[in-house]
Amino acid sequence: MVTGGAGFLGSHVCDALVGRGDAVVCVDNLSTGDAANVAHLGDHRAFTLVQGDVSRHVDVSGTVDAVIHLASPASPPDYLARPLETLAVGSEGTRRCLELAATSGARFVLASTSEVYGDPLQHPQREDYWGNVNPVGPRSVYDEAKRFAEALSSAWRRTHGVDTGIVRIFNTYGPRLRPGDGRVVSNFLMQAMSGRPLTVYGDGSQTRSLCYVSDTVAGIVALLDSELPGPVNIGNPQETTVLELARTVLALTGSCSTIVHLPLPADDPVRRRPDIALARHQLGWAPTVGLEDGLRRTAEHLAGSGAGSVPIGGDRGAR
């Protein structure tokens, strides 16, 4: 079972699993995902899409040998617009998925996030760093939901012996990012391709380390296939400032767009880069797609989907 399997990352996870011969039940409430992301799997006997909210109900018939819990809004504008739903899917949704894993004897993989490190005081971030999160700020609905989900998974492992694995995913981008989802790569590419100004929040000196989706999915599947409890960081340590990213996007797309600076959102982390020694040594995993290559592939996908002419709904700083 893949929860959130009709979303950006989840749909690529479904592709990878079906592609290697696994039968997949994707459970998704389509709140931030889209059935179109998995429509190409629709004719496959090994794939089923079930529309449902895992915070309310999880019921999958047949033998379940793995639960990958990806359901959750992930883009800041998405989770800020759905604060209570985000807390619910991290807590009650995670509990229901753990219960299913426990009764089925299934491996359970939690999609956690680099956001559990908050605005990190250690750099790069290793898995043994406990983080620096504002528990009452607007981002806390996401950060604390994921921290609680990690705590819950660990408690079910200790208390009920569930075979849990926690993956801390760093910023991932690639084809099937929703054009209007408000994350930096989709915003910048859409803005560049439609000739509108690129919206850099703050002075753009904050950093992120962007991982191409095929690399992230390979890391998630490697953790699924292992017996590691984690947490394990999965991300690309190639760090860039947001301003550098804007300039890279302009150069790659050949766009004449300008750059405008808008206010920095509250509690926006200043820097972020994964230490991936654990994933390298214990999963034999490392990213393979560089930033420019990944951005080019993503731009081609957005252009091919006709998204270049779609208005962007998620320019946070502009709200």
Which residue of 201, 230, 249, 250 would you call a contact of ligand UDP, by CB under 6 A?
Answer: 201
- Residues in 60-119 at the binding interface with ligand NAD, rule: CB under 6 A: 70-74, 78, 89, 93, 111, 113
268 belongs to the binding site for ligand UDP (CB under 6 A): yes
58 belongs to the binding site for ligand NAD (CB under 6 A): no
Q: Which among 46, 50, 56 has a CA at the least distance from the CA of 6?
A: 50
Query: CB 86 → ligand NAD: shortest distance, Å?
Result: 8
Q: Which is nearer to ligand UDP, 157 or 297 (CB)?
A: 297
Name the binder of 113 from ligand UDP, ligand NAD, none, CB < 5-8 A by kind.
ligand NAD
Query: CB 278 → ligand NAD: shortest distance, Å?
Result: 17
Query: CB 233 → ligand NAD: shortest distance, Å?
Result: 11
Do residues 65 and 101 make contact, with C-beta atoms less than 8 angstroms apart? Answer: no
Burial 284-304 (b: 16+ CB within 10 A, else e): ebebebebeebbebbbeebee
Q: Which is nearer to ligand UDP, 215 or 315 (CB)?
A: 315
Burial 215-240 (b: 16+ CB within 10 A, else e): bbbbbbbbbbebebebbbbbbbbebb
Round to whole Å and give the CA distance between 13 and 9.
6
Q: Which is nearer to ligand NAD, 70 or 295 (CB)?
A: 70
Do residues 86 and 73 make contact, with C-beta atoms less than 8 angstroms apart? Answer: yes
265 belongs to the binding site for ligand UDP (CB under 6 A): yes
206 belongs to the binding site for ligand UDP (CB under 6 A): yes
171 belongs to the binding site for ligand UDP (CB under 6 A): yes
Round to whole Å and give the CA distance between 4 and 71.
4
Name the binder of 127 from ligand NAD, ligand UDP, none, CB < 5-8 A by kind.
none
- Residues in 167-196 at the binding interface with ligand NAD, rule: CB under 6 A: 169, 171-172
Name the binder of 172 from ligand UDP, ligand NAD, none, CB < 5-8 A by kind.
ligand NAD
* Choice among 79, 142, 201, 212 that is catalytic: 142
Query: CB 108 → ligand NAD: shortest distance, Å?
Result: 14
First-last CA distance in the chain = 37
Round to whole Å and give the CA distance between 91 and 54.
10
Our separate counts of H helices and E strands in the chain read 10, 13
Q: Which residue in this structure is represented by tokens 């009709």?
A: 6
142 is catalytic: yes
Give the CA count within 13 Å in the CB-facing half-sphere of 38: 35
Which one-letter amino acid corresponds to residue 241?
T
Q: Which is nearer to ligand UDP, 58 or 242 (CB)?
A: 242
- Residues in 8-27 at the binding interface with ligand NAD, rule: CB under 6 A: 8-10, 27
Round to whole Å and give the CA distance between 21 and 17.
7
Query: CB 258 → ligand NAD: shortest distance, Å?
Result: 27
Q: What angle do CA 31, 90, 113 make, to 5 degrees?
A: 95
Query: CB 276 → ligand UDP: shortest distance, Å?
Result: 17
Catalytic residues: 142
Residues that bind ligand NAD (CB under 6 A): 3-4, 6-10, 27-33, 53-55, 70-74, 78, 89, 93, 111, 113, 169, 171-172
